[in-house]
Amino acid sequence: MNRFFLPKLLYRNYEFERDRYIEVNSEGRIEKIGRTRELGSTELNSAEILEGIVLPGFVNSHSHAFQVLLRGMGDHPKNFHDWVKSSLYPLVRSLKTEDIVTATKVAYAQMLMRGITSVGEFHYLHNLHPEENPEIENNDPISIAVIEAAREVGIRQRFLYTGYDLGNKPGQERFHRKAFEVIESLNYLRKKYRDDPLIEIGAAPHSLHGASEEMIRSMMEWAEQNSEVCHIHLSEQKSDVEESISQFGMRPVEYLEDRGLLSSMMAIVHGIWLENSEINTLLTHGVKHVYNPMTNMHLGDGIAPIRQYVARGVVTALGTDANMDPDLVMEMRATEYLQRIEGLEMGIIGAVTDDASPAMTLYKMATVNGGIALNLKVGVLDEGYYADFIVIDPDHLNFGGGIDKYFLENLTLSTTISTVLKSVYVGGEQVFNREDGITKIDTSELLKKLNEIVKSV
């Protein structure tokens, strides 16, 4: 049976609409948005009133959920490579499936508490801890556990199964799979979750240093054949470019193009150290871009040439990557502020677009562009899209301003989203509200488990 919602204020197509209803079908999609006066009395009486501003939920296009366990650990590595060696890989070696599940639920609960309703989970931890029982029914118990964690918490997930077949550093043995095994797993998972509207499966060759040409090619072809997305880490560190030049004689995007490995189903993640010619190449092939500025700052990666991406019309979406604090409002803010610091100017990103407001460009990155990068019907409140929406309280000191023409500026640059968020819905189902918190799981139990893991690793 269809359900009805009555938003006090609906923010849609960058404008406020009053006296509207949202009709949601059994699949959790928006069947219709219409005028309240068109509703019959039965629908009106059964409708749920949403007291506040209703917006599409934010779309997190890149996450490694288990990395929440790195918080506070190895606080002061010298650089990215030292962080990988001294923090990331030792953690990876110690984790059992149950720990990964707890970490994933923590990350996803926090995302919902910040209005993130869908996530692209770039998952590369495939092989079990040596002490875990290898008698298992399928090849991918960890992947399945991470997907089930998303279902339990109630967040929409594009599970990006990662292919990683290079490297022999301690820790990397937990990532390794051969290309044919990866394709088998992709097919298995895609079939297993075919009827679940909350879960979609995508491909993710890890990076040029983690995935062979054979791996990237087979995953890209799988994505093309199945009309699914294919994400790859690219040019995060300056050294990624240097390595590509010394190994292939070309910069990373040039290498992918030269080998015929670019497609419109692809998104590059990070894309920090790109030359303008490489950004043009991405545009030519319809490749999308996912930017994670908070993590890039945390790891000292660098600042992506966002103005060049935006000016050329490459679709840039945002992600929370290492999930130190998974908050897309902060990612929007960091995207703009890093450009200001680098360029010693203000209002930089919006100035190179036709968008009506500078903040609109940032807002698109966290909503509609995320839907494009993940190939999900999310980030927009319209017929056919999922009913993934958030309700925020404009009558709050932390909202940062009124409901006026500067709404998006207030939202992107001034608001503390976690304090103004009243409720969150995924597929029309409430998964968070301010009074009860996360509705589908017991977060106090989760906290106990988290504390036990943090003590033991």
Interface with Zn ion by CB under 5 A: which residues?
A: 321
Beta bridge partners of 437: 433
Pick the closest to residue 273 from 296, 242, 295, 304 (CA basis): 304
Choose between 321 and 388: whose C-beta lies nearer to Zn ion.
321
Length of the chain as a residue count: 457
Q: How far apart are CB 360 and Zn ion at their closest, in Å?
A: 27
Q: Residues 6 or more apart from 128 whose CB is under 8 A from it?
A: 96, 97, 134, 136, 141, 142
Choose between 63 and 281: whose C-beta lies nearer to Zn ion.
63
Q: How far apart are CB 67 and Zn ion at their closest, in Å?
A: 9
Choose between 321 and 331: whose C-beta lies nearer to Zn ion.
321
Q: How far apart are CB 233 and Zn ion at their closest, in Å?
A: 5
As a whole number of angstroms, the distance between CA 6 and CA 38 comes to 12
Q: How far apart are CB 64 and Zn ion at their closest, in Å?
A: 5
| Chain residue whose CB lies nearest Zn ion | 321
Vertex 129: Cα angle to 234 and 89 (nearest 5) = 40
Choose between 257 and 321: whose C-beta lies nearer to Zn ion.
321
Q: Are 97 and 132 in contact (CB under 8 A)?
A: yes
Choose between 67 and 281: whose C-beta lies nearer to Zn ion.
67
421-426 and 389-392 beta bridge pairing: antiparallel
As a whole number of angstroms, the distance between CA 423 and CA 436 comes to 10
Query: What's the sign of the alpha-carbon dihedral 317, 318, 322, 323?
Result: negative
Choose between 326 and 428: whose C-beta lies nearer to Zn ion.
326
Please report where in the chains the tokens 């992107």 appear, as a residue: 412
Q: How far apart are CB 321 and Zn ion at their closest, in Å?
A: 5
Q: How far apart are CB 232 and Zn ion at their closest, in Å?
A: 10
As a whole number of angstroms, the distance between CA 203 and CA 185 comes to 10
